[in-house]
Amino acid sequence: MNTPEQVYVKSDKLFDPNTDLIIAYSYGFKSMHVNDRDYINWSGNLIMVGNSVNGFNLGIKKENGSVSIWFGSNKLGQNDQNLFLIISDPNSYKVHRS
């Protein structure tokens, strides 16, 4: 078995730290920026979304009396209106998988 050091190949692409990392959402979505504390502010309430999307923007969409939260074309889940947490949808990955 090879170690990572043995199989690593340096990329020819250079990383541009000034690259625009804003994700565009379609009509019906509200775009919200995830702050450096891993929260978004929705209707005056802080919703914990986690540090994996820190610095990015999420799409918020009202659906059937609840609010769904998206990262690009991936549905993260629904907002729990009482706890202000994201309740993941166990079937969401199946819908958006290629």
Residues 10, 73: Cα–Cα separation, whole Å: 30
**Residue 35 backbone dihedrals phi, psi, to 5 degrees:** -75, 180
Question: Taking Cα atoms as reference points, which of 29, 23, 77, 7 lies closest to residue 55?
Answer: 23
For the chain, the structural domain boundaries read: 22-96
pLDDT of residue 30: 92
How many residues are present in the chain? 98
Question: Taking Cα atoms as reference points, which of 97, 75, 98 lies closest to residue 88?
Answer: 75
Residues 38, 46: Cα–Cα separation, whole Å: 9
pLDDT of residue 76: 86
pLDDT of residue 24: 85
Claim: this prediction has a pTM higher than 0.75: no
Series of mean pLDDT values for 10-residue runs along the chain (98 residues): 88 72 85 89 85 87 85 84 76 54
